[in-house]
């Protein structure tokens, strides 16, 4: 440091302030530290506790991710007994996410690029007791599936036209649900055919994902047609009624 250049504390970004004390000076506390609710945020004593290196911070970040998504997190079991281990908290049942699958994800969700699973899965499989389909969620670039990918592709899958064979598959109760949803949708858009979203009736609100297990699926596996390979990440979609 050149003679006459004022010293700047590299850990706080502030110049030292002359005060009486053992060292003769100290650095002022940033304003955010003065709040009582953040009493644990304190300026580090550079003589005793240096700031962690970037590598150490990165390892700490990875450890926090593992605790949040992994088995060690007490939240890996939902209060209703649902297994949510390895799942992004944004997609867990009971999160603050409010998303109607009838509509495309809002901009606030599209900006979320966090991985859907802690394993950074490139494909996840979703089923639901509310519909007969098996949806495989993946990216065209074969990259990690994000929370936005899950919401966006669920929306796209459910916007597909309902086929004639799917209509025949439905019983009379389900056909009544389809007709009512179709008529209600005519008020919002130019309707020419049934869509898969109509199968859900009023239950179009995303209510979270949880893992396929032996307790909720026979043998803990999704029944698949011949030739469709199994994958590691399998989830059940919960839905709830729309509030409007």
DSSP secondary structure string for all residues of 42-101: ----TTT-PPPPHHHHHHHHHHHHHHHHSTTSGGGB-TTS-B-TTB-GGGSTTSS---BT
Are residue 146 and residue 212 in the same domain, yes or no? yes
Range of the domain at 223: 76-240
Q: Decide if 62 is inside a domain.
A: no
Q: Is residue 70 part of a domain?
A: no
* Same domain flag for 83 and 43: no
Looking at the fold, whether 137 and 225 belong to one and the same domain comes out as: yes
**42 and 82 together in one domain:** no
Question: Do 40 and 119 fall into the same domain?
Answer: no
In a domain, 63, yes or no: no
Q: For 62-114, how does the pLDDT look when each residue is reduced to its tens digit (9 = 90+)?
A: 444 444 454 434 445 555 678 999 999 999 999 988 899 998 888 777 778 89
Q: Which of 45-54, 103-112, 144-153 has the highest mean pLDDT?
A: 144-153
pLDDT tens readout for residues 217-239: 776 777 787 888 889 999 999 99
| Distance between CA atoms of residues 169 and 184, nearest Å | 22
Are residue 126 and residue 218 in the same domain, yes or no?
A: yes
Same domain, 124 and 18: no
Q: Are 158 and 166 in contact (CB under 8 A)?
A: no
What is the pLDDT at residue 128? 93
> Same domain for 24 and 109?
no
Same-domain status, 178 and 96: yes
Check whether residue 190 and residue 91 sit in a common domain. Answer: yes
Decide: 156 and 174 in contact? Cβ < 8 Å: no
Gap between the Cα atoms of 201 and 180, Å rounded? 7
DSSP-derived letter for residue 132 is E
Domain count, the chain: 2
Residues 6+ apart with CB under 8 A from 80: 93
Task: Provide the edge-to-edge strand list for the sheet that holds 205-211.
Answer: 131-138, 123-128, 234-240, 205-211
81: alpha, beta or left, given left = phi > 0 and alpha = psi -120 to 50? Answer: left
For residue 120, is it left (φ>0), alpha (ψ between -120 and 50) or beta? left
Same domain, 172 and 91: yes
What band does 190 get if pLDDT is binned at 50, 70 and 90? confident
Cα separation, 5 vs 13, whole angstroms:
15
What number of CA atoms fall less than 13 Å from residue 46's CA on the CB side?
9
Query: Tell me, what's the pLDDT at 31?
Result: 34
Domain annotation covers residue 54: no
In a domain, 96, yes or no: yes
pTM: 0.67
Annotate 54-93 with b (16+ C-beta within 10 A) or e (fewer). Answer: eeeeeeeeeeeeeebbeeebeebebeeebbbbbbbbbbbb
Co-location of 201 and 148 in the same domain: yes
Note whether residue 224 is domain-resident: yes
């Amino acid at each position: 440091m050149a003679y006459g250049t004022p010293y700047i504390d590299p850990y706080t970004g502030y110049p030292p302030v002359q005060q009486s004390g053992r060292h003769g000076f100290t650095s002022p506390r940033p304003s955010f530290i003065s709040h009582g609710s953040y009493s644990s945020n304190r300026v580090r004593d550079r003589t005793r506790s240096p700031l962690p290196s970037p590598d150490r911070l990165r390892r700490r970040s990875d450890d926090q991710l593992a605790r949040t998504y992994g088995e060690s997190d007490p939240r890996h079991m939902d209060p209703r007994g649902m297994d949510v281990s390895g799942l992004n908290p944004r997609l867990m049942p009971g999160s603050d996410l409010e998303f109607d699958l009838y509509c495309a994800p809002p901009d606030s969700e599209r900006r979320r690029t966090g991985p859907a699973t802690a394993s950074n899965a490139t494909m996840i499989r979703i089923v639901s007791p509310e519909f007969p389909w098996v949806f495989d969620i993946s990216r065209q670039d074969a990259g990690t599936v994000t929370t936005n990918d899950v919401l966006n592709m669920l929306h796209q899958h459910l916007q597909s036209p309902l086929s004639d064979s799917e209509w025949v598959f439905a019983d009379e109760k389900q056909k009544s649900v389809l007709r009512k949803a179709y008529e209600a949708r005519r008020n919002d858009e130019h309707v020419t055919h049934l869509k898969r979203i109509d199968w859900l009736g009023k239950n179009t609100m995303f209510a979270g994902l949880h893992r396929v297990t032996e307790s909720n699926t026979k043998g803990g596996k999704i029944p698949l047609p011949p030739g469709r390979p199994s994958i590691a990440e399998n989830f059940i979609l919960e839905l709830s009624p729309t509030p409007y």
